[in-house]
Structure 1
Amino acid sequence: MLEHVELFFKSIFIDNMVFATFLGMCSYLAVSKKVSTAVGLGAAVIFVLAVTVPMNWLLDQYILRDGALAWLGPEYAEYDLSFLSFILFIATIATMVQLVEIIVEKFSPSLYNSLGIFLPLIAVNCAILGGSLFMQSRDIETLGLALNYGISSGIGWFLAILAIAAIREKIRYSNVPAPLRGLGITFIITGLMAIGFMSFGGMLTGGDEAEPTSEVKTAQTEPASEVEEITKENTASIEAVQVSEITQQ
């Protein structure tokens, strides 16, 4: 349970797709002029990541990685189809994006028109493919963790585009210097937001630093005891030499 909670908050704040790895910046910058549009695209990204990451985890575990085909028989245990990862991952993502596009067009034509070309472009959004590739590189062990990672990564991207959309709506009425208007001030705000999200790293990794400190303390106390023993032995040897000299005299 603790592993799920840690992965959830770490994927949202510390390893945020936009602020930590700067993935999906094209959609992040283009569709963040209105909050309503940003909410629609963010919800679509959450849905696509929540479905594609677990599906690609199953593909990686039972088809792609070295020895994954052992369930078909011992003669297939030596096959390694990892070179097909990009093709199968992108095919899964494209299929789910088409499903999302059909659903949005059916139930919300206004949102479909406002998103425009960026809704089908989710299929080539590097944040979506990055979620599956990060899942593969981190060796996530269970399907539940893969689903957790997909949802939390989508929520992190959703919070990023929602925050910048809200700021850009307010900043229209601000006195921004002419050279910084548009994407200039947006990049500056994005950098400041990234610094703010990085500050969550100390909150979620504080518990990991408790054990090394205790080990350092024990490591520091052990040499001190050894030095005391050495000094005692040297003192005893010096006293023995002095006693022998006195007896000789």
Structure 2
Amino acid sequence: MLEHLELFFKSIFIDNMVFATFLGMCSYLAVSKKVSTAVGLGAAVIFVLAITVPLNWLLDQYILQPGALSWMGPEYADYDLSFLSFIMFIATIATMVQLVEIVVEKFSPSLYNSLGIFLPLIAVNCAILGGSLFMQSREIETLGLATTYGVGSGIGWFLAILAIAAIREKIRYSNVPPALRGLGITFIITGLMAIGFMSFGGMLTGGDEETKEDTTVEVQVTPTDDNTELANNTKIEE
């Protein structure tokens, strides 16, 4: 349980897709003009990451890794399909994005129209593919940890786009210098927010150091003869 919580909070704050690796910046900048559209796209990203990361973990563990096909028989133990990782991961992501697009269009046509082309573009959003690739590089061991990482990464991206959308709605009425209006001030605010998110690293990684146990060394002193002690303590006078 502690491992799940640690991975969950690290994927939100320390390893945030936007602030740590700057993935998904196209949608982050284009759809963050209004909070309503940012919430819709952020929720879609959470759903896609929560589904695709564990699915791609299963594909990686039981199909793609070297020797992963050993469950089919000893004759398949030497197969290595890792070169298909990108194709399989993108196929899984595209399938889930199509499902999200159908659901959003059915139940919220206004949100579907406001998101426009950026909803189907989730399929090629580097943050979505990055979640699966980071999961693979981290060598996450269980399906539960993969699900935790997917949900945490999605929430981290959601918080990032929600925060910048709220700030951009406010700075519309601020006296921003003409040279910084638009994307200029947005990039500056994003950098400051990244510093704030990275400051959580000290709190979440403070207990990783190995504790050193204090060891006491007992020294046994064997008593010597009285004559020897006297001889050591006397000074020879010339």
TM-score between both structures, scaled by the size of structure 2 = 0.90
1:246 deviation in Å?
5.2
Quick one: distance in 1 between partners of 2:4 and 2:96?
A: 25
Which residue matches 1:135? 135
Divergent runs of 4+, >6 A: none
Segments of 5+ residues of structure 2 without an aligned counterpart are: 220-230
Aligned length: 229
Q: Are positions 1:34 and 2:3 aligned together?
A: no
TM-score between both structures, scaled by the size of structure 1 = 0.86
Which residue matches 1:45? 45
1:208 deviation in Å?
1.7
AA of the residue aligned to 1:22: F
Quick one: distance in 2 between partners of 1:124 and 1:99?
A: 15
Which residue matches 2:225? none
Quick one: distance in 1 between partners of 2:179 and 2:113?
A: 31
AA of the residue aligned to 1:131: G
Q: CA RMSD in A?
A: 2.2
SS at match of 1:206: coil
SS at match of 1:23: coil
Which residue matches 1:69? 69
Quick one: distance in 2 between partners of 1:57 and 1:206?
A: 29
Which residue matches 2:228? none
Quick one: distance in 2 between partners of 1:53 and 1:207?
A: 28
Residues 1-249 of structure 1 correspond to what in structure 2 (within 5 A)? 1-209=1-209, 211-212=210-211, 214=212
1:135 deviation in Å?
0.5
1:154 deviation in Å?
0.2
> Deviation per CA, 1:146-204, whole angstroms, max 9, x where unpaired?
11111110000000000000000000000000000000000000000000001100111
AA of the residue aligned to 1:196: G
> Deviation per CA, 1:44-67, whole angstroms, max 9, x where unpaired?
000000000010000000000010
SS at match of 1:66: coil
1:100 deviation in Å?
0.6
Segments of 5+ residues of structure 1 without an aligned counterpart are: 227-238
Whose helix proportion is higher, 1 or 2? 1
Which residue matches 2:222? none
Quick one: distance in 2 between partners of 1:165 and 1:159?
A: 10
AA of the residue aligned to 2:38: A
